[in-house]
Amino acid sequence: MTTAVENASVTLSARPGFEGANIRTWIGFKHFAYLVEQGVLEWFRERGHGPGRLYHEHGVGLSIRDCSLLLPAVLDVDDTATVVATPAANGRFAVRMGVRRDADVTATVLATPAANGRFAVRMGVRRDADVTVCRARVRVALVREADVPQGAPLPAELAGLAEEPAVGEPGAPAGADPADTLRAAGAGFVWPWRVPYFYCQYSQRMQHSGYVRLLEEVVDRYLADRGVSVGRMLRERGWIPVVSRARIEVLGDAHLDEPMWVSFTVTDVLKDVTYDARMDCHVVRDGRLVRVATASILHGYAVSRGPEAGRLATLDEDTVAALTGGQR
């Protein structure tokens, strides 16, 4: 439920998607990102600039271009989340996302859009005391859509958010097999993929949340490829993967039905508790690889059962060797 307080503030209250409670009742990182996105969208909607109106009246698509998350504590399936956004002194938006159990919670979004379309996000929970469960930063762009008739000019307060469709970062020649080219460049795992319509927005471009879903899936595929699948670790050790931070940035526009090569590489193991990794997404244009998105993620394992449930697990030598390919 949302309630408009005044032009300078809005309130958003929402629960995480049931889909996100995959193991026990803890919510995965993907649904943190979804809630942050909903809070940003609500900011625009409450000011009469919802994504539908921007598209039909002004010919632009509201798109998340960059979102980073820090997740210091868990979110539960029955939590009610709130999102609060306030502009910081540097011209960015400060966004607060909060959770409260067995009580009503409100969240406030304040001020006018900054020229660079950036938000800073915070999510908190009331559990005997206030606990921060998420901090995030988001960049929003209003992308000019090719298939929409030229609409009315954007309102002055939004004009600085307008962008042309992004090209991406051209790289090496693709060669006979783009996957081989990426492996030769150091990618630990490469997954050939195709952009489906249900990962797209505005009929043609892959949206930011699609890359969030890709990041979740490529981690799962990588772990299975290395012999430490989520299912095996859960059955044999009672370990589940947990994310403490993630960032997904869209560098260029990938299009519906376009072939894509998703690579994933573990870059570091930190204190035998977490591992740092990177995802890159490439398409081929004019014979060259073009990077259209990049992501980083800090993963670990939590104990899912018994008296130590919720505690971070220590990575043993065999697990570290599997994650890194023995290249630590």
pLDDT in tens, 208-235: 999 999 999 999 999 999 999 999 999 9
Here the tokens at position 101 are: 């159990």
What is the pLDDT at residue 1? 35
Closest of 51, 70, 67 to residue 59, by C-alpha: 51
- Rounded Cα distance between 202 and 142, Å, is 12
What are the Cα distances from residue 306, in Å, to 83, 136, 278, 309? Answer: 33, 32, 32, 6
- Rounded Cα distance between 137 and 239, Å, is 29
pLDDT higher for 149 or 196?
Answer: 196
pLDDT higher for 7 or 213?
Answer: 213
> Residue 268: phi, psi to the nearest 5?
-165, 155
Answer for the pair 114, 87: CB distance below 8 angstroms, yes or no.
Answer: yes
Chain mean pLDDT for the chain = 86
Could you count the other beta carbons within 10 Å of the beta carbon of residue 48? 10
Answer for the pair 62, 51: CB distance below 8 angstroms, yes or no.
Answer: yes
Here the tokens at position 104 are: 């009503």
- Rounded Cα distance between 143 and 298, Å, is 30
Q: Is the pTM of this model over 0.85?
A: yes
